Amino acid sequence: MLKGKTAVITGASRGIGKAVALNMARNGANIAVIYAGSRDAADEVCKNAGGLGVTAKAYQCDVADYEVSKNVCEKIAADFGAVDILVNNAGIIRDNLLLRMSEADFDAVIDVNLKGAFNFIKHLARLIIKSPAGRIINISSVSGIMGNPGQANYSAAKAGMIGLTKTVAKEFAGRNVTCNAIAPGFIETDMTASLPQAVKEYADAVIPLKRMGTAEEVANVAVFLASGLSSYITGEVIRVDGGLCM
């Protein structure tokens, strides 16, 4: 489905990003794995992707840093020669009630989750535009649609990604580049594993499908949006939330 294409995935060493990277590799895409922390984890993703017969390379990057992101994107261009797909998945949480939230925690989440997406779109735009069918996929959240107490920073960043998605979709449509967002709900990842048991039980109770989703279920939608099957979809926000945000 993605054979011969090159995909750049930020935050790809674990969780949803890892699932997206490996799913795209299974579908034939070469993979640039962008990570912030563990080199070993990123190398493991590359090893697994390479075992599927594609090229995979890891790049450490603070996506919030404009110049560092630019340098990494230039390395990707030199290594792969082309970029067809960008998945902006890198994200952090610094949860607290607004009255207790520090400026540093608000800024950090906005910088990584929202500015990081801008940085990679900005620096890879010319390559993606050259693709016969460029695809940009932003991983937002249902928190960006409906808000969430204790997540003023995260909800604002994820809502911003939706606005960014729609604007990029309109600006790049004339170049045959689509830009869509995925809004996951409660997904079983390292991030949700640390939630108190009471919160997990509450989530299962309020989600119409009565369970958390998996990273693979999000990755399936990302592969669809990256493929030719979604060629007439742009500026859309697809919820993968078990019906939570209906």
Domain extents for the chain?
A: 6-240
- Whether the predicted pLDDT of 61 surpasses 90: yes
Give the C-alpha separation, 119 to 69, whole Å.
Answer: 6
Residue 96 DSSP class? B
Q: Where does the pLDDT of residue 182 fall: very low under 50, low under 70, confident under 90, or very high at 90 and above?
A: very high
- Whether the predicted pLDDT of 150 surpasses 80: yes
CATH class of 6-240: alpha beta
- Whether the predicted pLDDT of 68 surpasses 90: yes
Q: How many CA atoms lie within 13 A of 179 on its CB side?
A: 24
| pLDDT value of residue 197 | 87
Higher pLDDT, 200 or 117: 117
Strands 56-60 and 237-240: unpaired
Chain-wide mean pLDDT for the chain?
96
Give the C-alpha separation, 183 to 144, whole Å.
Answer: 8
* % of the chain beyond a pLDDT of 70: 100
| pLDDT value of residue 190 | 78
Q: Which of 35, 59, 66, 154 is catalytic?
A: 154
Contact between 218 and 212 (Cβ < 8 Å): no
Q: Where does the pLDDT of residue 10 fall: very low under 50, low under 70, confident under 90, or very high at 90 and above?
A: very high
Provide the token pair at 246: 């209906």
pLDDT tens string 70-89: 999 999 999 999 999 999 99
- Residue 9, SS3 per DSSP: strand
- Whether the predicted pLDDT of 199 surpasses 90: no
Dihedral Cα 37, 192, 143, 128, nearest 10 deg: 40
Q: Is 154 marked active-site? A: yes
Contact between 118 and 162 (Cβ < 8 Å): no
pLDDT tens string 29-40: 999 999 999 999
Give the C-alpha separation, 113 to 42, whole Å.
Answer: 19
